[in-house]
Amino acid sequence: MASTFKHHRRLYWYEAIIALLLLLGAAQAYAENREFELTIEERKIQVAPDLEYQVFAYNGQVPAPLIHVKEGDDVTIHLTNNTTLPHTIHWHGQYQRANLVDSTEPSNWKMDGVPGVTQKAVQPGETFTYKFRAEKTGSTWYHCHVNVSEHVGMRGMWGPLIVDPAKPTKLEKKVTKDVIMMFSSWDSNYAEKLGSGGSPVEPSNYFSINGRSFPTTQPINVKKGDVVRFRMFGAGGELHSIHIHGHDMLITHKDGLPLPAPYYADTILVAPGERYDAIMEMNNPGIWMVHDHIDPHVTNNGKHDGGVMTVIAYEGMMPVMSDDSHGMLPNDDPDFYYSESMKKPYGMYNNEHFAGAPLQTEGRRERRREQHDAH
């Protein structure tokens, strides 16, 4: 009996160790299923004080809601198209490799969102369900893939899809504040012509961060000691050469993935489709401009100051006013760069500051249908 009892105790210890290892492995591997609803609405947003613009807005807002998940999560999105034109969603950066939808297919490629290639476009009134595994980590994004020169270039059909890696880098773990900046541009001639625009021979004349041009951008509010992570997206059709005053950016990620050789820069060129992450310690109190150095991009239709321009504002610092009408930025949306939403648990988050207003009447819908048929 004594020997049996002793034998039993040894198994108990082994079992405990094995159970602990299994739990640790499971904790590491545990991926969530996350399910969200997205609609597309026709809206108008205030891009600049003198520019109201008609858009196709995911969940009625531009930019689209933040989707924030963890590496390995399975994401389900029910997309309902409440507009008068067809659309899709392409999950830019995601591999669509893990097959979640159709076991007869060799991969998840039919969730890639390309009309005519991976699916039929989602028609007005239809609902389509996307399902994919968040395999690619970091700053990825989602956008329409129908008639991109209009829908992506000029109608705000894009939002951030941030996938936290299972194994973040040492530096990433120090970040205390995410700042998501999606750069894009607009052609005022098409502000009220939903369904057209995007020609290569017609230049843009307004430029924006998260769909807003200075002075309707917001300051980036920080305190000394913050470790800030810029997540910069080339969301529209123009390039943007982003310059920060008072600090160097350490460029750490390209298109979501860590760079093998991060480098310092005070100015970074962001081309359409690209993402760059930069990490900086806020160790230099003051008010520091952050802006596009492509000089016409800090105008609104040629008038200064405007466009892709904001400031890093350290707590307690006040700008010097002047009669150069530089203006003080409004300071009423702490989530303008998704900083607050990025601190919440994984999920999808709307931002009512990004929401657009409904368009006029049925009369307008008729006109757009005519334009579309004329295409």
Q: Is 160 in the site for its own copies (CB under 8 A)?
A: no
Find the binder of its own copies among 124, 165, 168, 198 (CB under 8 A). 198
Q: Which is nearer to its own copies, 2 or 320 (CB)?
A: 320
Q: How far is the CB of 44 from its own copies (least distance, A)?
A: 21
Residue 136 found at the interface with its own copies (CB under 8 A): yes
In the region spanning residues 100 to 119, those forming contacts with its own copies, defined by CB under 8 A, are: 105-107, 109-110, 112, 114-119
Bridge-based pairing of strands 158-164 and 138-143 is antiparallel
CB 72 within 8 A of CB 165: no
Do the Cβ atoms of 73 and 31 come closer than 8 Å?
yes
Interface residue with its own copies among 208, 299, 339, 341 (CB under 8 A) is 299
Residues 311-330 that bind its own copies (CB under 8 A): 311, 314, 317, 319-327
> Is residue 97 part of the contact set for its own copies (CB under 8 A)?
yes
372 sits near its own copies (criterion: CB under 8 A): no
Only one of the segments 68-76, 241-249, 330-338, 355-363 lies at the binding site for its own copies (rule: CB under 8 A); that segment is: 241-249
Residue 336 found at the interface with its own copies (CB under 8 A): no
User: Which positions from 341 through 360 interact with its own copies, judged by CB under 8 A?
Assistant: none
Our finding on whether 71 is near its own copies (CB under 8 A) is no
**What's the min distance (Å) between Cβ of 309 and its own copies?**
10
- Using the contact rule CB under 8 A, the part of the chain among 33-41, 49-57, 172-180, 265-273 near its own copies is 265-273
Binding of its own copies by 124 (CB under 8 A): no
Q: How many residues bind its own copies (CB under 8 A)?
A: 99
Interaction between residue 34 and its own copies (CB under 8 A):
no
279 sits near its own copies (criterion: CB under 8 A): no
Q: Which stretch binds its own copies (CB under 8 A): 27-35, 51-59, 87-95, 331-339?
A: 87-95
